[in-house]
Amino acid sequence: MDVLTIDEVLGRFLAENYTPERVEQLADQFHRTGFVKFDEHMRLVPDALVTAVRVEADRLLQEHRERRDLVLGTTGSTPRNLSVVRSEEVGRSELIRAVAGSRVLRTFLEGITREPIMTDVSDDERYLITHQEFASDTHGWHWDDYSFALNWALRMPPVACGGMVQTVPHTHWNKSDPRINETLCERQIDTHGLTTGDLYLLRSDTSMHRTVPLTEDGAVRTMLVVTWAGERDLGKELIGDDRWWDNPEVDAARSLDRA
C-alpha cells in the first residue's frame, strides 16, 4: 500500500467507526490517564492492516534483530532484556513508513491528544521493533524523550504470562535523579491487559511505563513503536548518552549476562 491508499482506507474506517462524541470521550480519558487502548471492541485500524504490519515486523526481526541485556542509569538501573530492530532498518519498510506517515491517522489522533502530532523526532527514535521471548524479558520502567507513542501489539502472550503494560501518568523524568521507586510508592500504577492486534496511544514523556516481565520462555511479545512529537518537543536537546536501542555501548548502559 502507498500513503494515498492507506489514507483512503483509514479515512473510511475511522469515519465509519467513530463519532465526534466518542472521540471526545477518548480525549478525556487520554488527558486523565495518558493512555488509550484500541482493542477488539474499538479498532484504530483494520485487522488486515495489523496483519500486514506483523508480517513486515517478522521479516525485519528475522533479518535485523539485535539482542539487548542491560540496565540503564538514567532510569534508575531498570532493565532492558529484549531484542530490537533499530529505527534505520524499520524505516526501510514502505508499509510501516506509510502507516506512520499517514496524515489521516495523525489528524484523527490529534482529536484525542487535543494538540498537533508531529513527525519531527530524531532518526534513531522514529520507529522501534521490540521482541521479548524469554522468562523475565522486559522493557523496564522508563519515560520517552518525545510526547507521543503509538504502540502496536503485534504478538502478545496471555495475561498470565505477562501480557500487560503498566503506566504511571503525570510524572516527570529527571535523568540525573529518576526516582523510579519513589514514584512507584507515591503514585497509582495502572495495569492494562493486551492481546495480539491491540494498539495503544501513550503520552510517553510524562507517563512512566514498562512491559510486565514475561513469566516463561516462549511467551512471545512483539511490539512496533512509532514515536511522534508535540510542539513542546521541537528543537529540544536530547540529553544523556542513553539511547541503548541504537547503541548498547552508551555511557548510561551497563551490560548484563543472561543466566
- Cell reading at 105: 491517522
Answer whether 172's CB lies under 8 Å from 98's CB: no
| The pLDDT of residue 54 | 98
Burial class (CB in 10 A: 0-12, 13-18, 19+), 191: exposed
47 residue type, one letter: D
Q: What's the pLDDT at 4?
A: 57
Within 10 Å of residue 27's Cβ, how many Cβ atoms? 17
Give the pLDDT score at 236. Answer: 86
| Burial classification of residue 227, based on how many CB atoms lie within 10 Å of its CB (0-12 exposed, 13-18 middle, 19 or more buried) | buried
Average pLDDT over residues 108-123: 97
- One-letter amino acid at 163 equals G
Tens-digit pLDDT profile for residues 125-175:
999 999 999 999 999 999 999 999 999 999 999 999 999 999 999 999 999
The length of the chain in residues reads 259
Query: In this predicted model, what pLDDT tens digit does every residue of 185-236 receive, in sequence order?
Result: 999 999 999 999 999 999 999 999 999 999 999 999 999 999 999 999 998 8
Element (H, E) at 33: helix 20-33
Helix ranges (H only) for 173-246 are 180-186
Architecture of domain 37-99+119-255: Sandwich (2.60)
pLDDT above 70 covers what percent of the chain? 97
Beta strands in 142-230 (DSSP E): 148-155, 164-168, 190-193, 199-203, 208-211, 221-228
Within the chain, residue ranges assigned H as helices are 3-17, 20-33, 47-64, 87-90, 94-100, 103-113, 180-186
Specify whether the CB–CB gap between 212 and 173 falls below 8 A. no
Q: How far apart are CA 178 and CA 16, in angstroms?
A: 43
Provide mean pLDDT across the span 102-126.
97
Burial of 100 (0-12, 13-18, 19+ CB in 10 A): buried
Element holding 55 (H helix, E strand): helix 47-64
Q: pLDDT-derived band of residue 256, with 50, 70 and 90 as boundaries?
A: confident
Contact 153, 196 (CB under 8 A): yes
pLDDT at 1: 53
Half-sphere CA count of 252, side-chain side, radius 13 A:
22
Cell of 58: 517478522
DSSP 75: G
- pLDDT digits over 7-66, tens only? 999 999 999 999 999 999 999 999 999 999 999 999 999 999 999 999 999 999 999 999
Average pLDDT of the segment spanning 85-106 = 96
